[in-house]
A = this chain, B = another copy of it.
Amino acid sequence: MTLNLPSTQLAVQWYPPSYDVRAEQVPVPTIEHPDDAIIKIKLAGLCGSDLHVYRGHEDVEETHICGHEFVGEVVTLGASFQSASPASRPTAYSTLKVGDKVVSPFTTSCGECQFCRLGFTARCVHSELLGTSTLPGAQAQFIRIPHAGGTLLPISPGSPLEALPDQALLLLADILPTGHFVALQALTHPKLSPIFNGKPWPHGAGAVFGPVLEIQDAPAPLTDEDRILCIAVVGLGPVGLCATLALLDLLVSAGIRFRVIAVDPNDARRKKMQEVYDSLPPDARGAQDSQFVVADIEESKAVVNGWGRKGCHAVLEVVGNPAALTLSLDLLAPSGVISSCGVHQAPPLPFTGRTMYNYNVSLEFGRCSVRAVLGAAAGLLLRRRDAFEGLVERVLPLSHAPEAYARFEKGEWGKVAFDPWA
């Protein structure tokens, strides 16, 4: 169950304390546990969250191989992978073969612990983040994936995903599922349920508690205006762009009228967002009276103010710093939801308890459980394939990593991918 691999490979390594990445020769990984797989990388991504380590913000001290996004091909499988693998284990242990094409979530997940069964694969008890000192990353020619039967998504022959180019599949490793997650986390929040089902909170929110929620007096019925969802996306980097496309797709699918505002201080990002929106087929832009606005920070406050309801029902925070959280709160109406997928660092949350109480704020934080939303994200990718085209702006050899990191960090370049064999 293995191909002959070289003993060394080219990889991008990060060096402490900050702003120092180098493409250099390192050992090729080997199987360390029967559940491991070794993957030959075909394409690896450079992601906004790689920048936290790059900038020295993650309290990391060890040199390690960077990167957590890849598309690749199985070259070695551990002993757990065999057709006689127990039926109780994730399917891939009995089906995955050397030569199969795979994509991987940016964190490993066993598929066998309670957190995985509940759908919280990002918090799998065995979860490891690719591209750290404990699990060398994907900006390399080969990578070892632990718990590979639970982690990897095979692109099976006959799957509609087989027709997608690697640059599109690469988006499934992190940014597209993360964008889908941050949108879904807001839209499934019970405070938004009145917009979807027309029943005032909490009467439409708690289906399983229906019999308990007898009401003694009918509130005034919701108006048409009440059922227009007002929502902001803060941050239009690659994940923010994915989040906006996922949000629009979910709303259009559910037939919800909306006012969506996509906010970023960076001119180039706003321009790209508008272009991508304009490229959507008309039926993917929402009902005729829905609105989509791209704005900078100051404009965003004026636009939301003009909507006349003290702010948005929900804000998607796709940046990961205190300023973005503060802007999110500025754009939020009382009883609203901030859904955050930003990789926040050491600073405390910029909110007082009194503000949280006085505005009835809901805050949703954390890492996307990619494995759990991979199917939904893949569906979105297939439906909106054209919109995601061009999201990867440059494909470069690993040797260009120092320049790519520096320019991506300064916002001069958009999303970069590396071809480790170029």
Provide the residues of chain B in CB contact with A159, threshold 8 Å.
Answer: 216
Contact stretch, chosen from A27-35, A137-145, A287-295, A372-380: A372-380
Q: A91 on the interface (CB 8 Å rule)?
A: yes
Is the beta-carbon distance between B119 and A194 smaller than 8 angstroms? yes
Residue of B nearest to A256 (CB): B208
B-facing residues in A329-356 (Cβ within 8 Å): 334-335, 340, 342-354, 356
Is the beta-carbon distance between B342 and A214 smaller than 8 angstroms? no
Is the beta-carbon distance between B117 and A209 smaller than 8 angstroms? no
Provide the residues of chain B in CB contact with A122, threshold 8 Å.
Answer: 335, 360
> When each residue 368-407 of chain A gets 1 if its CB lies under 8 Å from chain B and 0 otherwise, what string results?
0100111110111000000000000000000000000000
Is the beta-carbon distance between B253 and A202 smaller than 8 angstroms? no
Provide the residues of chain B in CB contact with A222, threshold 8 Å.
Answer: 117-118
With contacts A212-B379, A221-B117 taken as known, whether A351 is within 8 angstroms of B352 at the C-beta atoms is no
Is the beta-carbon distance between B351 and A219 smaller than 8 angstroms? no
Is the beta-carbon distance between B221 and A375 smaller than 8 angstroms? no
Contact stretch, chosen from A74-82, A107-115, A260-268, A413-421: A107-115
With contacts A112-B220, A363-B363 taken as known, whether A226 is within 8 angstroms of B194 at the C-beta atoms is no
With contacts A202-B373, A369-B201 taken as known, whether A349 is within 8 angstroms of B345 at the C-beta atoms is no
Provide the residues of chain B in CB contact with A342, threshold 8 Å.
Answer: 353, 357
Q: A254 on the interface (CB 8 Å rule)?
A: yes
Q: How far is the CA of A185 from the CA of B225 in the complex (A)?
A: 25
Is the beta-carbon distance between B360 and A353 smaller than 8 angstroms? no
> When each residue 77-110 of chain A gets 1 if its CB lies under 8 Å from chain B and 0 otherwise, what string results?
0000000000010110000000000000000000
Chain A interface size band reads 35 or more
> When each residue 173-191 of chain A gets 1 if its CB lies under 8 Å from chain B and 0 otherwise, what string results?
0000000000011011111
| Total copies of this chain within the assembly | 2
Q: A285 on the interface (CB 8 Å rule)?
A: no
> When each residue 203-224 of chain A gets 1 if its CB lies under 8 Å from chain B and 0 otherwise, what string results?
1011111011111110111110
Give residues in A with beta carbon < 8 Å to B.
88, 90-91, 111-112, 114-120, 122-123, 125, 153, 159, 184-185, 187-191, 194, 196-197, 200-203, 205-209, 211-217, 219-223, 225-226, 249-250, 253-254, 309-310, 320-322, 325, 334-335, 340, 342-354, 356-367, 369, 372-376, 378-380
Is the beta-carbon distance between A214 and B116 smaller than 8 angstroms? no
Is the beta-carbon distance between B353 and A345 smaller than 8 angstroms? yes
Provide the residues of chain B in CB contact with A200, threshold 8 Å.
Answer: 117-119, 372
User: Which of B206, B208, B334 contacts A120 (CB under 8 A)?
Assistant: B334
Minimum CB–CB distance for A76 against chain B, Å: 22
Residue of B nearest to A92 (CB): B217
Q: How far is the CA of A196 from the CA of B208 in the complex (A)?
A: 7
Provide the residues of chain B in CB contact with A185, threshold 8 Å.
Answer: 190
Provide the residues of chain B in CB contact with A114, threshold 8 Å.
Answer: 223, 225-226, 309
Is the beta-carbon distance between B367 and A356 smaller than 8 angstroms? no
With contacts A118-B194, A352-B346 taken as known, whether A365 is within 8 angstroms of B369 at the C-beta atoms is no
Provide the residues of chain B in CB contact with A117, threshold 8 Å.
Answer: 194, 200, 219-223, 226
Minimum CB–CB distance for A251 against chain B, Å: 9
Q: How far is the CA of A359 from the CA of B366 in the complex (A)?
A: 7
Is the beta-carbon distance between B372 and A201 smaller than 8 angstroms? yes
Provide the residues of chain B in CB contact with A344, threshold 8 Å.
Answer: 352-354, 356-357
With contacts A117-B200, A366-B356 taken as known, whether A188 is within 8 angstroms of B213 at the C-beta atoms is no
